[in-house]
Amino acid sequence: MTAPLPKGYEYVIGLEVHAQITTSSKLFSGSATTFGAEPNTQASPIDLGMPGMLPVLNSGAVDAGIKLGLAIDATIAERSVFARKNYYYPDLPKGYQISQYDQPIVQHGKLEIDLNGTRKSIAITRMHLEEDAGKSVHDLGVNVSHVDLNRAGVPLMEIVSEPDIRSPEEAGAYMKAMRTLVRWIGVCDGDMEKGNLRCDANISVRKSGEPYRTRCEIKNLNSIRHVMAAIEHEAHRQIEIYEQGGTVAQETRLWDPEKNETRTLRSKEDAHDYRYFPDPDLLPLVIEPARIEAVRATLPTLPHVLAAELGTLGLSADDIALLTSDKGYSDYFTAMLNAGADAKLSCNWLVSELFAVLNKTETPLENSPISATQLAGLVKLIQAGEISGKIGKQVFAEMLANGGEAQTLVAKLGLAQISDEGALRKACEAALAANPDAVAKFKSGNERIFGSFVGFVMKETKGQANPGLVDKLLKELLK
Amino acid sequence: MTQSLLTLSATETLAKLRKKELSATELARTTLARAAAIAPLNAYLHITETKALEQAAAADAAYAAGTAGPLAGLPLGVKDLFCTAGIKTTAASKMLEPFVPAYESTVTAKLWAAGAVNVGKLNMDEFAMGGSGENSAFGPARNPWDVNRVPGGSSSGSAAAVAAYACFGATGSDTGGSIRQPASFTGTVGIKPTYGRCSRFGMVAFASSLDQAGVFARNTADAALLLQTIAGHDANDSTSAPLAVPDWVGELKQVNLKGLKIGLPREYFIEALNPVIKAAIHAAAQRFEAQGAELVEVSLPSTPYAVAAYYIVAPAEAASNLARYDGMRYGLRVEGSGLIETYINSRTAGFGDEVKRRIMVGNYALSSGYYDAYYTKAMQVRTLIANEFDAVFKQVDVLFCPTAPSLPFKIGAKAKDPVSLYLEDAFTIPASMAGLPGLSVPCGTAAEDGVTLPIGLQMIGPRWSEGRLLQLAHAWEQLRGPFQIPFIQNY
């Protein structure tokens, strides 16, 4: 938790998130978008900006944009316009980037964030579609730069928030919620290490109740940790300037994670004049209501809706947060419920047992050796009292190692619970007979010693005794 | 024999090929020889002899096998801004002098698929910017009617080659008049179809919202044949219209002049119009009137602002379209010390003066602080122009007007004054701004300084009315009688 800002200042933060859309081809060409391919092997004449080449809009990317718009409860524009953003750089082959400017596809949305159980809604100004630039590499040799155009033309969503964010923690929570959401609805893989989700932060500070002051933009933050650290350092830098009587200059800054500081990239005077104008190669994008409805039909239950549903099942806030942080988790959990397993037990077994094992082996849930149906089978045996939780762990270990259904494994390993009252009565009698001192102590009022009789019976029955029945029988015998 | 063969129309030539009275190879050789012989006209930038002979041989084989396409064996020229796979495509610019595309434009691909033979790539104003052909980086093309005069532009080589019988038709592109004006200056038929009728895929872009492919021919039937071959929707061009292409050749004669309403727009018959041209257009209109057509004077009040608006919109798009020529990936590269200097050196050496002028004007017009005053205003004018045409076409079926205000002028006469050259496009730009089809057909000749020069009649119609324009141009050819461009053995 970062400390509040000194001298009554508060953070004013807006985030611009760039999310790479998971389409198999580029925004305006048929080239593949596979990560890690040999440089310049995924660049067609269109991506290379060859003479006479024309862009053709990828309708899958448009659907992804509509999907995100619906997921953030935004307005989907009936008519939006692609514009050219003109500037020169060797990794920008056409000399302009096709983006959207004054008429974006999505406007007026919101995203709910979670701050240790408190929820806050952050307004989203707009989301537009644009193509990525290529990649410049400057460190492969002396006096030479290399350009890889595999990334040129890859579809991006730029999601711009209102300056509603008031702390580095909120910024972190926003990024987490956004990452979860884009993965949840399947429009972006959210991989920040690969740069598939990155963020620019607009930061200013003010004293409470003041109008907004000058902001600085910090570029290209590629981890949530960097986002939070950069915001904190930048705010302190600005406060220091104000406290020394200076003014903050509007500029674009870069975060240096090594030195823990931001530094000037370009000042307002050096800002590019991008000479935006509507791209005459593309018709305005017209989206019919029927298309929006068709996309809506593909939208899964969203994390915040699911969180509310899970709350009614008696799960803890932490568990709900965990289960709704990844659609794979919630899908797995929901599948267990659908198979008839109890909610709390399912949650415990998933979170405490399965996740522990998967974490240890760094296995993602989708590759789990135990399926949701298998785990539900195990949970159902426990909830029916057919095996104890302790036996359950043995079955779980066997299931993990060799597979199989819980019911079969229990039979195979001879772990079925002993619920034969006659047999258990004998075991209980034997337990009392073997511990006359303890029986005497119990009868003289030491009721805590009761547990030791239960333990004795369980030990003798290798844990297979029905604990409820043992409890009942011992109490009867000790009367 | 050579002359009688070369002066045939495309339609007649194809008939002879079909009847096997002529071999495609023989025809290709004769045309290639003629293309070489007219070198003083500087119409061809490169003659693609090997390609032409290959295609001709294929056409002969197709005729023998009975699989010949509608243009099999027909020698055509291609404006050098249509990308041709494996063949240099320069847009008449030093910037693209070494450029060999790996892909074929949709328009040329359709021609070759129909069996046409590529004689070569034709001269033009650099990046299609100009109205005289003088802006070519490889020297101006010359007018076959008088080699001291310009053939018009920007499709200068296309017009000159067709008029000099060095091919049976040619592709052109028209952004503000680049097909119609050179057609007028060379006595050929030139048609710019509706914006969106032909694919722009593989056409080196000048101003994307205006550029449109079209054709040159020596008569309207030939033009109809070529245009219906290159037209049609293309999934590779988002601005190409998903419309079926009519059989313009088949429908050429299905026209009734009785009751046809011909509009004569007042703003096109102004003082700056050469009176000889004015008289020729009026005379042509009266011939239609005599056939039962009705002449209606109409007004398009925004016409005087079209040139000014065009010279904002077209350069703005051009400045952006030409940003890709940075010396990094293809074309000319002149090294400097560092990135910025390499950009500057490459673009300084690669572009001619007119191209640089338009890039500067375009960037200025799009700059923050000027955008609304220039680009937005120009787009508003463009909308007004389009609306006025729409209103006029509720009153009349077609507009008749001059294609150009003057006769072909002498090389160098306007080179020092870009604005006077821009005004040469005053009658062709409005239809371009509105995306309308326009056609120029010869309607007479005039003598100037002892030489005979052609006059073009422009017909403008509503969107997608190419069929009607071709019918009326064809009808005019019947009323007018034969119009023979002089065949000159040696220029």
How distant is the Cα of B209 from the closest Cα of chain A, in angstroms? 5
Q: What are the Cα distances from residue B280, in Å, to A121, B139, B187, B480?
A: 73, 32, 14, 11
How many Cα neighbours within 13 Å face the side chain of B186? 40
Report the percentage of chain B scoring pLDDT > 90: 96
Per-residue pLDDT tens for B435-476? 999 999 999 999 999 999 999 999 999 999 999 999 999 999
- Contact indicator for B78, B121 with CB cutoff of 8 Å: yes
Provide the token pair at B29: 């050789």
The question of ipTM being above 0.85 is answered as yes
Q: What are the Cα distances from residue A357, in Å, to A6, A307, A392, A468?
A: 44, 25, 15, 29
Predicted model pTM: 0.91
Please name the residue of chain A whose CA is at the shortest distance from the CA of residue B107: A52
Residue B178 bears catalytic tag: yes
- Contact indicator for B82, B215 with CB cutoff of 8 Å: no
Region A401-418: mean pLDDT is: 85
Provide the token pair at A389: 């939780």
> Which residue out of A31, A46, A53 would a mutagenesis test of the B interface target, given it has the greatest number of B Cβ atoms within 10 Å?
A53
Provide the token pair at B353: 């003066």
Helix (H) / strand (E) containing B438? strand B438-448
B341 neighbourhood in chain A, CB within 8 Å = none
Task: Label residue A445 left, alpha or beta by phi (over 0 means left) and psi (-120 to 50 means alpha).
Answer: left
Per-residue pLDDT tens for B195-208? 999 999 999 999 99
Q: How confident is the model at residue A181 (pLDDT cuts 50, 70, 90)?
A: very high
Tokens 């994008």 locate to: A285
A153 neighbourhood in chain B, CB within 8 Å = none
Region B179-199: mean pLDDT is: 98
pLDDT of residue A449: 87
What is d(CA B95, CA B99) in angstroms, rounded to the nearest whole number? 8
Name the 3-class secondary structure at B474: helix
What is d(CA A211, CA A53) in angstroms, rounded to the nearest whole number? 48
pLDDT of residue A268: 76
- Look at B320 and A275 and tell me if their CB atoms are within 8 Å: yes
Region A53-76: mean pLDDT is: 98
Please name the residue of chain B whose CA is at the shortest distance from the CA of residue A282: B238
Phi, psi of B16 (to 5 degrees): -65, -40
Provide the token pair at B452: 């005979």
Q: What are the Cα distances from residue B53, in Å, to B19, B23, B24, B45, B48?
A: 20, 11, 9, 18, 9
pLDDT of residue A424: 86
Helix (H) / strand (E) containing B370? none
Q: How confident is the model at residue A9 (pLDDT cuts 50, 70, 90)?
A: very high
Residue B94 bears catalytic tag: no
Per-residue pLDDT tens for B51-73? 999 999 999 999 999 999 999 99
Q: Annotated catalytic residue: which of B178, B199, B432, B465?
A: B178
What is d(CA A55, CA A281) in angstroms, rounded to the nearest whole number? 7
On whether any CB of chain B is under 8 Å from the CB of A134, the answer is no
- Which residues are within 8 A (CB) of A155 and not within 5 positions of it... i.e. 6 or more apart? A20, A21, A23, A26, A27, A33, A58, A61, A64, A129, A130, A131, A132
B205 neighbourhood in chain A, CB within 8 Å = 51-52, 281
In A7-19, which positions are buried (b, 16+ CB within 10 angstroms) versus exposed (e)? eebbbbbbbbbbb
Helix axes B49-65, B10-18, angle to 10 degrees: 50
- Which residues are within 8 A (CB) of B104 and not within 5 positions of it... i.e. 6 or more apart? B83, B84, B85, B112, B202
Helix (H) / strand (E) containing B332? none
B317 neighbourhood in chain A, CB within 8 Å = 277, 280
Neighbours of B196 (CB within 10 A): 21
Q: What is the DSSP letter of B143?
A: B
What is d(CA A77, CA A65) in angstroms, rounded to the nearest whole number? 11
What is d(CA A468, CA A253) in angstroms, rounded to the nearest whole number? 66
Pick from A53, A90, A280: which is nearest to B328 by CB?
Answer: A90
Tokens 């045996």 locate to: A381
Three-state secondary structure of chain A: CCCCCHHHEEEEEEEEEEEECCCCECCCCCCECCCCCCCCCCCCCCCCCCCCCCCCCCHHHHHHHHHHHHHCCCEECCEECEEEEECCCCCCCCCEEEEECCCCCEEEEEEEEEECCEEEEEEEEEEEEEECCCEEECCCCCCCCEEECCCCCCEEEEEEECCCECCHHHHHHHHHHHHHHHHHCCCCCCCCCCCCEEEEEEEEEEECCCCCCCCEEEEEECCHHHHHHHHHHHHHHHHHHHHCCCCCCCEEEEEECCCCEEEEEEEHHHCCCCCCEECCCCCCEECCHHHHHHHHCCCCCCHHHHHHHHHCCCCCHHHHHHHCCCHHHHHHHHHHHHCCCCHHHHHHHHHHHHHHHHHHCCCCHHHCCCCHHHHHHHHHHHHCCCCCHHHHHHHHHHHHHHCCCHHHHHHHCCCCCECCHHHHHHHHHHHHHHCHHHHHHHHCCCHHHHHHHHHHHHHHCCCCECHHHHHHHHHHHHC
Region A320-333: mean pLDDT is: 93
> What integer best gives the mean pLDDT of chain B?
97
Region A466-473: mean pLDDT is: 86
Provide the token pair at B324: 């890709």
- Contact indicator for B296, B395 with CB cutoff of 8 Å: yes
- Which residues are within 8 A (CB) of A352 and not within 5 positions of it... i.e. 6 or more apart? none
Neighbours of A288 (CB within 10 A): 9
Name the 3-class secondary structure at B353: helix
pLDDT of residue B1: 57
- Which residues are within 8 A (CB) of A86 and not within 5 positions of it... i.e. 6 or more apart? A95, A96, A274, A275, A276, B319, B320, B323, B366
How distant is the Cα of A182 from the closest Cα of chain B, in angstroms? 29
A45 neighbourhood in chain B, CB within 8 Å = 101-103
- Contact indicator for B445, B452 with CB cutoff of 8 Å: yes
What is d(CA A91, CA A146) in angstroms, rounded to the nearest whole number? 9
Q: Domain B2-257+424-480 is in which class? A: alpha beta
Name the 3-class secondary structure at B423: helix
Assess whether pLDDT exceeds 90 at residue B478.
yes
What is d(CA A357, CA A400) in angstroms, rounded to the nearest whole number? 9
Neighbours of B23 (CB within 10 A): 18
Q: Annotated catalytic residue: which of B23, B105, B136, B154?
A: B154
Q: How confident is the model at residue A220 (pLDDT cuts 50, 70, 90)?
A: confident
pLDDT of residue A260: 85
- Which residues are within 8 A (CB) of A384 and not within 5 positions of it... i.e. 6 or more apart? none
Pick from A50, A145, A280: which is nearest to B208 by CB?
Answer: A280
B323 neighbourhood in chain A, CB within 8 Å = 86, 88, 94-96
- Look at A93 and B328 and tell me if their CB atoms are within 8 Å: yes
- Contact indicator for A188, A21 with CB cutoff of 8 Å: yes
pLDDT of residue A64: 98
Per-residue pLDDT tens for A230-263? 999 999 999 999 999 999 999 999 998 888 888 8
> E-assigned strands of B188-260?
189-192, 212-217
> E-assigned strands of B90-188?
117-122, 170-174
On whether any CB of chain B is under 8 Å from the CB of A54, the answer is yes
Assess whether pLDDT exceeds 80 at residue A355.
yes
Tokens 């890859």 locate to: A154
How distant is the Cα of B366 from the closest Cα of chain A, in angstroms? 5
Name the 3-class secondary structure at B121: strand
pLDDT of residue B417: 82
What is the distance, to the nearest Å, from the Cα of residue B116 to the centroid of all Cα atoms in its chain? Answer: 19
On whether any CB of chain A is under 8 Å from the CB of B337, the answer is no
Assess whether pLDDT exceeds 80 at residue A16.
yes
In chain A, which among 310-329 make CB contacts under 8 A with chain B?
none
Write the DSSP assignment of B384-406 as a string of letters.
HHHHHHHHHHHH-SEEEEES-SS
B203 neighbourhood in chain A, CB within 8 Å = 52
Q: What are the Cα distances from residue B19, in Å, to B3, B11, B22, B24, B58?
A: 20, 12, 8, 12, 17
Region A26-49: mean pLDDT is: 94
Domain ranges of chain B: 2-257+424-480
Strand partners, A147: A136
Rg (CA), chain A: 30
Three-state secondary structure of A132-168: CCCEEECCCCCCCCEEECCCCCCEEEEEEECCCECCH
Region A16-26: mean pLDDT is: 96
Name the 3-class secondary structure at B137: coil
Q: How confident is the model at residue A418 (pLDDT cuts 50, 70, 90)?
A: confident
Per-residue pLDDT tens for B210-238? 999 999 999 999 999 999 999 999 999 99
What is d(CA A79, CA A64) in angstroms, rounded to the nearest whole number? 16
On whether any CB of chain B is under 8 Å from the CB of A55, the answer is yes
Where do the domains of chain A lie, and which CATH numbers do they carry? Answer: 6-294 (no CATH), 308-396 (no CATH), 421-478 (1.10.10.410)
What's the angle, vertex CA B406, arms to CA B404 and CA B407, rounded to 5? 105
Region B244-264: mean pLDDT is: 97
How many Cα neighbours within 13 Å face the side chain of B272? 12
Which of A134-148, A275-289, B288-302, B355-369 is predicted least confidently? A134-148
Q: Annotated catalytic residue: which of B23, B51, B79, B465?
A: B79
